[in-house]
Chain A
Amino acid sequence: MLEITGLRASAGDKEILRGIDLTVNAGEVHAVMGPNGSGKSTLAQVLAGHPAYTVTAGSVLYRGQDLLDMEPEERAQAGLFLAFQYPVEIPGVSNAYFLRAAYNEIRKARGEEEIDSMDFIDLLEEKLKLVEWEPEIMSRAVNSGFSGGEKKRNEILQMAVLDPALAILDETDSGLDIDALRIVAAGVNKLRRPDNATVVVTHYQRLLNYIVPDYVHVLSNGRIVKSGGKELALELEARGYEWLEDAVGAAS
């Protein structure tokens, strides 16, 4: 599904990713953990094509395609989805309109017929249940005046509608109370299939109690310094990140 090799990326003059290697196969859930400033969110944003970052080295193969050569919209159309850490407010455009526009653009790019608003409402109704939401939320402007929890829930709703092959969740747990966390995680779990994959970027182990990863990677200073199974997350929770950073510091 995804094969990242030697990926380096900078924001302005500052190098943030310093050689990432990561392979994600269909059906897998990977957690990328690490302290603040380790490059977790940058990795997520680089994969989605955020214009603030420049890739300076390495390659990313996504379903056999050169991901780095694709525009952000082409990546989305090819089935990649980034749930934003800070979802953007778009006052003036309804949540329903925005999501239908995205859905239809993706269909169009795949040579499928666009669907009208009536059919879309039917589709929405089913997906809204997944995040335990009433349809009223769809007539509000995109994320505009939404609480932190509502914004994150909206990201998962978009993910449910757009049905990506590879979903990257960037700090989706931050700012969520326990109920919202449960709803969001349950939504993600229901969307898991053998033919899609999820990368969960998070600082805390808490979310991983709900979305159980197959693999855990620890990012520090722009590199993956340790990979393991789900038990690694528990170890990090107990011991913090310092021991890994120290180990890397001593080795280099």
Chain B
Amino acid sequence: MTEAFVQEFEARAGTATAEGPEWLEPVRRAAIERFARTGFPPARDEEWRFTPIAPIVQGSWRPAGGGAAELSRAQLSPFVFGHTDWTTLVFVNGVFSDALSSVGALPPGVRVASLAEALRSNGGLLHPHLTRHAPIEISPFTALNTAFFAEGGLVHVAANVDLSAPVHLLFVTTVEAGGAVAHPRNLIVVDRGARASIIESYVTLAPGQSYWNNPVTEVAVGAGAWVEHTRIQRESESAYHVGITHVDQQRDSHYRSFSLSMGGALARHNLHVRLNDENIETLMYGLYLTRGDQVADNHTAIYHDQPNCRSWEVYKGILDGHSRAVFNGKVFVKPEAQKTDAKQTNRNLLLSDWARVNTKPQLEIFADDVKCTHGATVGRLDEVARFYARSRGIPAAAADRLLTYAFAAEVVDEVALAPVREELDRLLLDRLGGL
């Protein structure tokens, strides 16, 4: 499959991938050259040891392309939270759909556009940011995305602007994309002192379909900015999703992420956050719900490069059936990053005898005056709590659902924006079969 991608790259003249500003071309070429050298991660690669990517590597994937013409807004209603007035960019099988998108009233200084359009107009924003936050050396999947991306969301919030309602980047896959791969690329730039809430969703209208989504998202958080980033992954349970998010934070900024993973035969997400200056706060919450033979894999990395920063991470998983979860949480603290306060927690709830979890904290601390803790648990529903609920008249099955919900609600509750929190709550209840 590696060779096929190289050939596709050479033959792409005239396609969307070949368009764009001049400076991008050598970046793309470097990316495909790197991918040609490395190929997909080999089985012995520590970063991919527990991630069964063989179906991706062995598959033969054609480029995804459109299919939006047949879709109506009504079909998207389950995915837009009922908030039709929010600015929503809709991408169908990797291609932007103007007709399905809606741009609400945006404050001055806010730009929301499809990346393809931005690449055509080559605005000054792209050059300092696009591909600058997501190094191709981190993952062959990023290299592939960089070589091929043509579409995605662009959100720019200018200094001191408060983006009052969230912007939703909605990636929909339909039955037409069976056997295809898409490489969405998002760029979110929130300048100094600005506030923004961004939702990034990956959903499907073809629940049984096999396809591969390979998104990369870059987020630049300016000094004193506040950003909430919610990522909802609800791909087909036969699909492959390998996504990566790179965040760069500046002084005094606050970035909070919530990542929900419930779709995919294999769903991998990497979240890398770099703290480039002092007094930064980073909150990373995650929830993965798996069943059947699903594999959910979350890798997070937080780079404490500077002193006096705080990072707080809680990822929780609920596993049923024969499903499996992987969690790897890296915390790097540089020698100069004194007074770092970092806490990482990964908790897993097993609902079946066959579900499994591989969890691994990885702390590399080179400063001596820091507070860094981590903890991981894998367990079952608490028998005493179960008895407590039953002793109040709640039947056993309902008690189990209630306690399972409670386990997950603890992280969902951390989502700051109420309408987003309520939607996540609804998705969770839906999945658990109500309370």
- Chain A residues at the B interface, C-beta cutoff of 8 Å: 48-52, 71-73, 75-77, 81-82, 84, 87-88, 90-93, 98-99, 101-103, 105-106, 109, 141, 158, 162
Contact = CB atoms under 8 A, between A and B. Distances in A.
Nearest to A77: B393
Contact of B387 (A72, A99, A105, A158): A72
A92 B408 contact: yes
A92 B405 contact: yes
29 contacts: A48-B387, A49-B390, A50-B387, A51-B387, A71-B396, A72-B390, A73-B394, A76-B392, A77-B393, A81-B391, A82-B391, A90-B385, A90-B406, A91-B406, A92-B406, A92-B408, A92-B413, A98-B389, A98-B392, A98-B402, A99-B392, A101-B394, A101-B402, A102-B389, A103-B393, A105-B393, A105-B398, A109-B393, A141-B406
Given A92-B406, A92-B413, A93-B409, A102 B385 contact: no
Contacts of B410: 91-92
Interface in B377-431: 382-385, 387-396, 398-399, 402-403, 405-410, 413
Contacts of A162: 392-393
A93 B390 contact: no
B406 A76 contact: no
A82 B410 CA distance: 27
Contacts of B391: 48-49, 72-73, 75-76, 81-82, 84
Contacts of A98: 389, 392, 402
A72 B385 CA distance: 13
SS class, residues of chain B in contact with chain A: helix
A77 B389 CA distance: 12
A77 B393 CA distance: 5
A102 B387 contact: no
Top 10 nearest A-B pairs (CB, nearest first) are: A92-B406, A92-B409, A76-B393, A102-B392, A72-B390, A88-B388, A106-B393, A92-B410, A93-B406, A105-B393
A138 B396 CA distance: 23
Nearest to B384: A88
B18 to A, nearest CB: 50
A109 B383 CA distance: 23
B435 interface: yes
Interface size class of B (residues with CB under 8 A): 20 to 34
Contacts of B388: 84, 87-88, 90
Contacts of A99: 392
Given A71-B390, A109-B393, A101 B435 contact: yes
A52 B409 CA distance: 28
Contacts of A105: 392-395, 398
A208 B356 CA distance: 51
B120 to A, nearest CB: 47
Q: Which of B390, B395, B403, B407 has the most chain A CB within a 10 Å cutoff?
A: B390
Q: Which of B383, B395, B396, B403 has the most chain A CB within a 10 Å cutoff?
A: B395
Contacts of B405: 92-93
Contacts of A93: 402, 405-406, 409
Contacts of B390: 49, 71-73, 76
A101 B397 CA distance: 13
Given A72-B391, A101-B398, 5 more contacts: A73-B396, A84-B388, A102-B389, A102-B394, A141-B406
A102 B384 contact: no
A102 B398 CA distance: 10
Contacts of A76: 390-393
Nearest to A102: B392
A61 to B, nearest CB: 19
Contacts of A82: 391
Contacts of B413: 92
A82 B393 CA distance: 11
Contacts of A73: 390-391, 393-396, 399
A93 B425 CA distance: 12
Contacts of B406: 90-93, 141
A117 B435 CA distance: 15
Contacts of A51: 383, 387
Contacts of A49: 387, 390-391
Contacts of A88: 382, 384-385, 388
B396 to A, nearest CB: 7
B410 to A, nearest CB: 4
Contacts of B395: 71, 73, 105
Interface in B81-113: none
B314 to A, nearest CB: 12
B428 to A, nearest CB: 11
Contacts of A158: 392
Interface string B134-152: 0000000000000000000
A40 to B, nearest CB: 17
A51 B388 CA distance: 11
Contacts of B396: 71, 73
A124 B82 CA distance: 32
Q: Which of A51, A90, A103 has the most chain B CB within a 10 Å cutoff?
A: A90
A82 B391 CA distance: 7
Q: Which of A87, A92, A99, A105 has the most chain B CB within a 10 Å cutoff?
A: A92
A7 to B, nearest CB: 18
Nearest to B410: A92
Nearest to B392: A102
Contacts of A84: 388, 391
Nearest to B388: A88
A251 B95 CA distance: 89
Contacts of B384: 88
B260 to A, nearest CB: 16
A91 B383 CA distance: 15
B391 to A, nearest CB: 5
A141 B390 CA distance: 17
Nearest to B404: A92
Contacts of A71: 390, 395-396
A76 B394 CA distance: 8
B179 to A, nearest CB: 40
Contacts of A102: 389, 392-394
